[in-house]
Amino acid sequence: MNRKKLAEKVITGLRRVIKERTTELNHVNPYELLVATVLSAQCTDERVNKVSPPLFKAFPTVQDMAVASVEKIFPFIQSISYPNNKSRHLAKMSKQIVEDHAGQVPETVEGLESLAGVGHKTAQVVAGVAFGIPTLAVDTHVYRVAHRIGLVSDAATPVHVERQLKKLLPREDWSDMHHVLILHGRYRCTARNPDCETCPISSLCDYYARLQKLPARRADLDQREGRYYCATRNHYFKEADLVSDRTGTEQLSCPRCGSMNIFDTRSGKTAKKVKDYRI
């Protein structure tokens, strides 16, 4: 199946189970969405949604925040990641909007990117959600899920992932793909323990297919003989070597023969790992 067809099947499958395809950041206008999105960088939406109500009560408009000092903003966001930097960004960003944009949040990706603390991803989220512009922002969830499924390849950065994904779908589907991949990654295709067994698109997923090819769990191993068992030479050992396989994934290997076909005797599970993706 070519990637365009795969993308069509993926978005169709995820649309069936993800009905609310929009940001989970609470907001009532573009100003609040912009602030919340800036705060969400390397922080959970849940945390931002707890912090934002008192923040917006203190600074209900961009004009109110524009005249606030960094020191006044900081206490409201000190519980989130990088509060010092984000306080400075919010203060400067608000002043820019008032002074350079007549108090209106810019409605283009380029205009948004000109603001302090607003990167490419943040600008695309705000432009897409607040102003309906077709965008496809790539965060850690989109990056991971797109690679796992096999929608992209050799995409080393979020920008590379974005470019490849946009080539697979018509513009009117970009925003939907952004949201379904984020929500799928946040609640099902999680970083550490993806719920592949109940996934509606597992039959399309390259990562799941590779997991299925891993050796089955063994119940015949004796952990008293050693922490690991080499299935190639049929012997136990205490400590494994660490090597990189042909995909660049670090694997445990047998110190005697170098085989990566080894098992953890405590769980009976293979020590092999399928290549995964993080940013």
- Predicted local distance difference test score (pLDDT) of residue 107: 96
Domains and CATH numbers, the chain: 1-213 (1.10.340.30), 223-264 (no CATH)
Q: Which residues pair with 241 in a beta bridge?
A: 253
* Rounded distance between C-alpha atoms, residue 277 and residue 160, angstroms: 14
* DSSP structure string for the chain: --HHHHHHHHHHHHHHH----S--S--SSHHHHHHHHHHTTTS-HHHHHHHHHHHHHHS-SHHHHHTS-HHHHHHHHTTSSSHHHHHHHHHHHHHHHHHHSTT----SHHHHHTSTT--HHHHHHHHHHHH--------HHHHHHHHHHTS-SS--SHHHHHHHHHHHS-GGGHHHHHHHHHHHHHHTS-SSS--GGG-TTGGG-HHHHHHHTSPPP-S---GGG-SEEETTTTEEES--EEEE-TTS-EEEE-TTT--S-EEETTT--B---------
SS (H, E, C) 183-226: HHHHHCCCCCCCCHHHCCCHHHCHHHHHHHCCCCCCCCCCHHHC
* Rounded distance between C-alpha atoms, residue 72 and residue 83, angstroms: 12
Residue with tokens 């395809």: 21
- Predicted local distance difference test score (pLDDT) of residue 279: 76
Q: Which amino acid is at 133?
A: I
* Rounded distance between C-alpha atoms, residue 74 and residue 227, angstroms: 50
> Mind listing the pLDDT tens digit of every residue in the chain (279 residues)?
899 999 999 999 999 999 988 999 999 999 999 999 999 998 999 999 999 999 999 999 999 999 999 999 999 999 999 999 999 999 999 999 999 999 999 999 999 999 999 999 999 999 999 999 999 999 999 999 999 999 998 899 999 999 999 999 999 999 999 999 999 999 999 999 999 999 999 999 999 999 999 999 999 999 999 999 999 999 999 999 999 999 889 999 999 999 999 999 999 999 999 999 987
- Predicted local distance difference test score (pLDDT) of residue 154: 83
Would you name the residues annotated as active-site residues?
A: 121, 139
**Cβ partners under 8 Å of residue 265, min gap 6:** 221, 222, 223, 225, 226, 227, 228, 229, 236
